[in-house]
């Protein structure tokens, strides 16, 4: 008898669990569950919100966060920008890091980025690199010459060439327009724009 009772307990437990599983359950307080869900409105989403989303431009996104003035600008709704974000593969192909400048090595030597003065030089070079990829127009119509927020490097524009959207000068292909948000657009580009002084 003990053996029969012992073998039926797991069967009864299984039956009880399956009966409970088939009973639909409702949240205790539906209103509070819904109010806890984040609600992002398209008008409140900014460039700083969407830039980190794409893995293809992760390096550039990180650089933007490393430059406080740029990070603040990308979060602001006071100015619309077009971000020309180079793909990680393009940044990795550069002959030197974006925070390095051959002129710094000529002036200071191999220790150009040592100490606080070196950190300041590197930060200034990185800011120049990032700002060279931020255009003061958004939306940015085809053929319209625009300035970069740095004010350096001359005018740039885009055109259709052999069925592809390219940034000029330099024939840098726009791979995709990744996002359009309240304060501008993120364009993923296949190359790095000229950021030399």
Average pLDDT taken over every residue of the chain: 82
Whole-number pLDDT of residue 14: 37
- Of residues 25 and 97, the one with the higher pLDDT is 97
Whole-number pLDDT of residue 169: 93
Give mean pLDDT, residues 91-114.
94
**CATH code 2.30.180.10 for 45-189:** yes
**Prediction pTM value:** 0.76
pLDDT digits (tens, 9 = 90+) for 55-74: 999 999 999 999 999 999 99
Whole-number pLDDT of residue 36: 31
Q: Which long-range contacts (CB under 8 A, 24 or more apart) does 137-142 make?
A: 137/80, 137/81, 137/82, 138/80, 138/81, 138/82, 138/183, 138/184, 138/185, 139/80, 139/82, 139/185, 140/82, 140/185
Helical (H) or strand (E) element with 47: helix 47-50
How far apart are alpha carbons 176 and 80 in whole angstroms?
Answer: 19
Residue 6 main-chain phi, psi, to 5 deg:
-65, -40
**Domain range list for the chain:** 45-189
pLDDT digits (tens, 9 = 90+) for 5-26: 444 444 434 334 344 344 444 4
Does the pLDDT value for residue 1 go beyond 60?
Answer: no
């Amino acid at each position: 008898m003990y053996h029969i009772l012992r073998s039926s307990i797991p069967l009864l437990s299984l039956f009880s669990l399956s009966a409970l599983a088939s009973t639909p359950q409702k949240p205790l307080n539906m209103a509070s569950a819904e109010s806890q869900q984040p609600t992002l409105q398209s008008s409140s989403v900014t460039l700083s919100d969407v830039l980190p989303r794409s893995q293809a431009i992760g390096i550039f996104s990180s650089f933007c966060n490393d430059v406080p003035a740029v990070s603040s600008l990308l979060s602001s709704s006071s100015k619309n920008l077009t971000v020309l974000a180079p793909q990680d593969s393009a940044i990795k192909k550069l002959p030197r890091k974006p925070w390095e400048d051959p002129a710094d090595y000529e002036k200071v030597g191999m220790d150009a980025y040592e100490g606080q003065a070196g950190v300041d030089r590197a930060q200034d070079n990185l800011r120049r690199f990032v700002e060279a990829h931020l255009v003061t127009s958004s939306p940015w119509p085809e053929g319209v010459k625009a300035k970069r927020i740095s004010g350096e490097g001359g005018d740039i524009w885009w055109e259709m060439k052999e069925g592809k959207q390219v940034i000029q000068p330099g024939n840098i292909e726009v791979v995709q327009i990744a996002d359009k948000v309240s304060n501008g657009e993120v364009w993923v580009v296949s190359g790095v724009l000229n950021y030399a002084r």
